[in-house]
Structure 1
């Protein structure tokens, strides 16, 4: 049975307003009264209805975060950083997994708007500008995460994926690899397209080097394994001698497929580079060379921008934060080191 504020007030011998002050502004209430009200709350098992209180106030203390794939450790780390910054200011984070599905993304944005969240962080699947503009017009601050804003009306926090793609391909070419393959998709995802563009730019400086694209349906281990099987189906002389995967999950699937037959050696026959440098990248049978993103820092910074925008109101100047990636070199390209 739900206990009401009136019952707490009656048990403590105070007014409903005093109970409200104890819960929201205890500094305005005498210490002895605070103790009496808290004792009544504990004895009766009262639980405050924060949802109703927040809706009456017009805005909740929750912030919505929409990510492309909650199963990807990169987004887990990003969410951890966002939650850490939110908790510092007394906010909670509601996470929605679009699972690379535009309809699910739209459903989460609708849900967060209905719940009157304090703001929204989002890694959009495609061009969600029009939908996000409507959120902003209705008073919900929005920040793009792991995606550069192409619109001055939005703040964004991202990594320069074009540079990241160049780093990966430059490294492979420096090792003497010339038949590069890029595995990733859908190419409609901006981050994937930018990583491919960077790799192509790096290879363009070498007349004898090429990049072949193996587009995938998603950025998953299963899709990486399927791409690996497509590569293995070719005669050895027609296979790429290096693969750049758009993320580490794809790279892990590729590694499973390539090593599974025992006929391909990594990196001797095919060198492999991933992207994100998730914790598992260094723990595989063949530790993975990967382009590193500061995932927790991205989430923390995006949340900080959102909170500052909400506090600054119409006068807030939107910011675009762009981190520079690094490459973590391991055995999947360098081989075993003594």
Structure 2
């Protein structure tokens, strides 16, 4: 049976209002009284009813975070940045993983609405932002993470993925590669379509260069390995001499297929570049070149924008980071970093 606040007050010999002050406004209570109340709480095993408090206040200390794939180290690092910054603001984070499924996304958004979260950070599964605009209209601020939606009016934090795709493929072409394959997921995922657009732009700038696209079901290591098996099965004269993967998990799977299932050498036969620059990228059997995103900074910046929204900031804002190409052995040039920084608009 749960212990009530009245029982705590009786045990401590104080009023219910004093117990409430100890829980919510401790600066209004003397140290001796606070110690008596705290001792009674611990002795009785009292647990505060945050749900009831949230209903009275109309809001909670929580914010919702919805990502495409919580198992992806990039999103794990984004979540860590979100959690660290939220903790500094006295908030907690509720995490939802959609696995790129819009139905799961809808379920999390409804749950967060019912929980009366202070706001929602989300990497959407598609381009339909109407449900997010409805959430915002209902009084729950929304910030897009690793995505932009210029026509929606939603605040956002993102990396210029078109530029990132261009950096990756321009690097491959500059090193003499001409048959480039792009391995990515559904074009309905904006990050995938933007990275592909950048890759196409780079290919269009070099005479004789061609781009082949290979769509996979999900952006995972297993799907990368499956794509690698398809490349291994091609006649040698038709294989790409370079591959740009839409993220590092796909690139790791491709590398596994080349190393374990064939005599294809990376980078001698096929140069390889991934995206995100997860921690594991530098530790693969052939260290992986990758386009770096500042994942933790993206998460922290998203919380900063959300706090402004919660405080009623009048103007919408976008924070856009420029990507960095980190070159390692998988694309066969000297290690270097083509860097850029954040730009706020």
Equivalents in 1 of 2:334, 2:148: separation in Å?
A: 37
Residue 336 of structure 1 and its aligned partner are, at CA, apart by 8.8
The answer on 1:324 being equivalent to 2:340 is no
CA contact (8 A) 1:152 1:318 kept: no
3-state SS of the aligned residue for 1:267?
Answer: coil
Moved more, 247-256 or 23-32: 23-32
Aligned to 2:203: 203
Number of residues paired by the alignment? 335
- Distance (whole Å) between structure 2 residues aligned to residue 231 and residue 29 of structure 1: 70
Q: Which residue of 1 aligns with 2:343?
A: none
Deviations 1:180-200 (A, max 9, x none): 000001111011000000011
Measured against aligned partners, the alpha-carbon deviations of 1:270-321 in whole angstroms (never above 9, x if no partner) come to 000000000010010011000000000000000110011101x2x5211011
CA offsets 1:135-183 (integer angstroms, 9 cap, x no match)? 0111000000000122352100000000000000010001100000000
What's the CA shift string for 1:100-121, capped at 9, x where partnerless?
A: 0011011110110011100000
Report the equivalent of 1:254: 254
Counterparts of residues 137-148 of structure 1 (less than 5 Å): 137-148=137-148
2:62 is matched with which residue? 62
The whole-number CA distance in structure 1 between the counterparts of 2:137 and 2:193 is 30
Question: Hey, what's the Cα distance between the residues in 1 that align with 2:179 and 2:291?
Answer: 20
Answer yes or no: is the 8 Å Cα contact 1:149–1:320 preserved in 2.
Answer: no
Map 1:126-275; keep pairs closer than 5 Å: 126-151=126-151, 153-275=153-275
Aligned-partner SS, 2:126 = coil
Could you tell me how far apart the structure 1 residues matched to 2:122 and 2:132 are?
9
- 1:288 aligned to 2:288? yes
CA-CA distance at 1:26 after TM superposition: 1.7
Moved runs in structure 1, 4+ residues, more than 6 A?
Answer: none
TM-score (norm 1): 0.97
Distance 1:24 1:240 in 2: 63
1:38 maps to what in 2? 38
Give the CA deviation at 1:17: 1.0
Conservation of the 8 A alpha-carbon contact between 1:135 and 1:141:
yes
Structure 1: which 5+ runs fail to align?
none
- Aligned partners of 2:153, 2:140: CA distance in 1, in Å? 13
> TM-score, with normalisation over the residues of structure 2?
0.95
Equivalent-residue separation in structure 1 for 2:93 and 2:29 (angstroms) = 31
